Every structure is written in structure tokens, then in C-alpha cells.
Chains A and B, each alone.
Chain A
């Protein structure tokens, strides 16, 4: 049935911050088909008796899925209580992710803020697997404070294989890393727009200022991909909740090329 969720076993749970955990789930046993999802897509995750909420995949694999879940409400807080060995109930994958295949041969610029970094982790995991398909990969990640930095282990790897810029908005005096808004380091990077595709994910205000910065650097709107967050119920373009003008974020998005969504009415 259309809305039937399937149980996926939790095999690993890693605390990222005080209210965020990274979960790794195995595909259901006995399921012959391999998992098939792309970076930027999402699943509807159920807590029976509470409800469902959408979560982006932040991995790239045919055998497992990872979700980075922040506790903000009824479903997400309950999910954070789950431990390895128990199950999460999923349906999906849904949505249109990042057009990774169309971008082969390009330089990638990846800009993320806060939990918005999660779907971009999926992109980077994809690029790790298909490294030869892409040229330079510039990564700009911003977090509020040092203790909110996500995926620290991955960051070490990405620092080696990609051009990684990590920043925090605020930090104590003895903090060794970079301090400043992510838009500022993007601006200072002096990137040009040659053969580049940009992927942005983060809070609406961060997306807005990042695009203004990119415009200053000479990027065109059709080089930029943004990911939107809306209230979602069905995930398949029926319930109407996620509509922005005539676009369904669940079905046509959540990733959109910016020139297609610029200035549309809510």
C-alpha cells in the first residue's frame, strides 16, 4: 500500500551533539532488492502511535541508510530514544535529489549550515565513491558553535581529499579553528563560476545570504541547487502540504535549481 512503512534495523547510533544522533539502518532482512536512493532524497520515518516526519538520507550505499536526526518535536524526539537492535519504520525514498549524474565533469561547490549539512554528507559520500567523475570539490560548512560541529570523523577525511572550509559563528577564545559566517568564507574564497555547480542546504536565511554572495562572485542562478524544507505528510504529491506555488517540494524537490524557484510565491 501507498503509505506502508517497512522496518529497518538500527545497527549503529552515534551522538553528534546533545540533541542530534546519527543512525545507521540495515535494509530489511529477506529483502532481495538492494536499496536504491540518491543524495538529496528523503524517507518518511514513522514512530507508530506518534506519526511520521521526513528525514534526508545522509549516506550513499545499497546496503544501509544513515539519518542524522535532530530532536525538535514529537517524532524526532522519540526516534532519538531508539537504540541499536530496535527498528525504525520507513517509507521512501521520495523526492528529487541532487542531479549528480548531470553534474559529471564539473567542479562542485558544497555549502551547508547546521543540520542542513546532513543531505550534503550524502553528496560527499557519493562523490567519494565516484571521485573520478568530478573535478575539484570545494566544501564550506558552517555551524553555530564548535560543539555543534557534525560528522567530525568525516571532516578529517574530507579535509584530506576535498578543499574543506569549516567555520563556526561563535567560539571561545582558545578555539583553534575558523570563526565567522559561512557566507563570509565563501566570499573570501574568491571562487569563480567556471564549470561549477553549487549545492546549498541550510536554514532559509543562510540560503538567502549565500545566494547573494554567490551572485557577487559571478555565479548564475542555473548553477545553484537549493534544498527546501516544508511540512510534509504524504511525501508523494497528494496531500498538498508542501506546495510552494505549483511545485511540490516532496515530489519535484526537495532539491531545486535556483532559477526555477527564484521569486515564486509561497
Chain B
């Protein structure tokens, strides 16, 4: 059983749970964006930000080392400074995205310290999608987990609030009990799950991909894409500089460039297939889940509205 929170008490509640932390929520400016909240009136829960929350866990550009070529210790590790955060207004697709990224950054022999610290220091307060915030949402097809510290469901003048962790439980202890069953998310858009291995040569791939510009917006906006480059940059004095990590995209031609100018995924079609196979087949082979949460951002952000669900839904069964 959960609790109930009057809407008029939401600000006070958020202020309390985010004491000493940054409160991050969808904020309406030119567009809707997850940002650190300065004014509670800016918080906007209508629609979902086209840009996901991954930047709070692995920034688009992240300094790793300070380089000093005049010193014996050429590399100095940059200290990781992280304020505790509370994310309010994320959705199940957002938080499930973190579960996927955990596999990549925290499950193996090597782990990403920044990502771990960010994960450990962030409370996840989600909001239910009723109805789904975008026509491109198809999370119902993606087996999402109910993963959050707290989950809010809009009941008009109040929220039904449910805890998904001990931390969340503690936050709502004082609220009044309330009996309610959160309805599952229903999406109009569906992904017809298929064994992609059988359809690598299906003509539907090419038809949809013809329009692609290799701009990389799909991966930049994806909830779970975090491929990166590592770059050294020196100041004009050529003595001091930085080594940093920066998001990269498998949709760029140079992504697989090696010595001699050879590129392994030269045509856009192969790169498109790699993106989708990585999400729906390879990641599953490696980690047992899909690297896609059905948020639909890659479709909505694409200047050509390229939609991989259409490709998969249209596969020609008679060819296999």
C-alpha cells in the first residue's frame, strides 16, 4: 500500500526530500528539459523532455585528467565532485535506462567511478505515464521494471505515492496511507518483438534508412546510448591541457576508423543496423536485457523521423 500527497503540498515535500541536494526535474524553457530546479514554478510534468537524464550520470563532456607536460607527473586525475541529487519527474523508461547503463558501467571487471558515484547519490522520484507523454512511446512492448525510489501517480488534486526502495519508504513515512492500484502504461505504438538474427537482410531496413543523414541525433537523445571518445586537448602554450571523455555516435563514419583510413562500417545502412542490433540483440546476448526502454526519443529527435519499430514491424516473415 502507498501514501497520498496533496498537490498543494508537493513543493514543500520536494523541498524537504531534496534538502542539501540538487533537485532535478523537467523544466519548461524554450523546450522541456531536465534541469536543476531554481524556481519550483518552473517544474512541468506535461510531456517528457526529449533529452534523457543520462547527462547527470555521464556528462556529454567529462574531464578525466589534467595534463601538465612540464611536470614529472604528467597526468593528474581530476577529482570527481558530485552534489547529491534528487530527480523528480523521470519516467519508468528513464529509470530503466539506468538499469541498462549499470550493466555497462558497473557490472564488469572495470567500473566507471563517476557513474557509480552519481548512481549512489541520486534519488529517483518517478511519475507514472497516464497517458503516455509522446505518440512515439512504445515502452509497453519493452518489459520495463517498476524501478524507482518513489513513484507518483496523478489523481487530480493529489498524488498517489508508492515507494520502490527502503530509501523511498523512509521519505514518505509521515504521509497518510492510501489504497490504490497503479494502472499499467498503455501505449498505442507497439514493437512487434522478433528474433532479429533472422532478418538482417530484410529490405525494410534499407527503405527506412534511405533518409538518414548520419547526424547522430538518435544516439545523442537515446536514453541508453553512451558510447564515447577519449580526447586530449592542449592549451595554446602546448604545455597544459586536458584528457576528457566525450559522447560519440556509432552513426558517424569515423566511429570505426582505423590506421590506413579503413572504416569497418562504411555505409549508413550497416551503421543503422548496428545501432538497432546492439540495442535489441547484442546487448541482450551480453547482459540478458534489451538496451532500449521504448522511450521513442530516437524517433522523435530524428530530423527524418526514422523509426526502427516500423522496420521491425514490417519485416517480411515469408523471407525467413
Contact = CB atoms under 8 A, between A and B. Distances in A.
15 contacts: A2-B113, A4-B77, A49-B69, A51-B231, A73-B259, A231-B256, A233-B229, A236-B109, A237-B108, A244-B264, A245-B277, A246-B282, A251-B108, A265-B200, A265-B277
Contacts of A230: 256, 258, 264
- Which of B67, B238, B283: most chain A CB closer than 10 A? B67
B224 to A, nearest CB: 11
A2 B111 contact: yes
Contacts of B64: 1, 3
Given A2-B111, A265-B200, A266-B270, A239 B229 contact: yes
A48 B74 contact: yes
Interface residues of B, number: 46
A72 B260 contact: yes
Interface residues of A, number: 35
A52 B257 contact: no
Contacts of B109: 236
A234 B256 contact: no
Contacts, number: 106
B67 A48 contact: yes
Interface in B49-84: 64-65, 67, 69, 74-75, 77
A229 B248 CA distance: 20
A262 B278 CA distance: 18
Q: Which of A72, A234, A240 neighbours the largest number of chain B CB atoms within 10 Å of its CB?
A: A240
B105 A238 contact: yes
Interface in A5-33: 5, 7
Interface in B17-59: none
A51 B229 CA distance: 11
Given A2-B111, A5-B75, A245-B282, A51 B234 contact: no
B257 A231 contact: yes
Give the dominant DSSP class at B's interface: mixed
Given A89-B74, A241-B248, A265-B273, 11 more contacts: A1-B77, A2-B112, A49-B69, A49-B232, A233-B228, A239-B228, A240-B278, A241-B229, A244-B264, A245-B282, A265-B274
A3 B104 CA distance: 16
A207 B282 CA distance: 25
Contacts of A266: 256, 264-265, 270, 274
A243 interface: yes
Nearest to A1: B77
Given A230-B264, A265-B277, A266-B270, A240 B69 contact: no
Interface string A227-259: 001110110111111011110000100000000
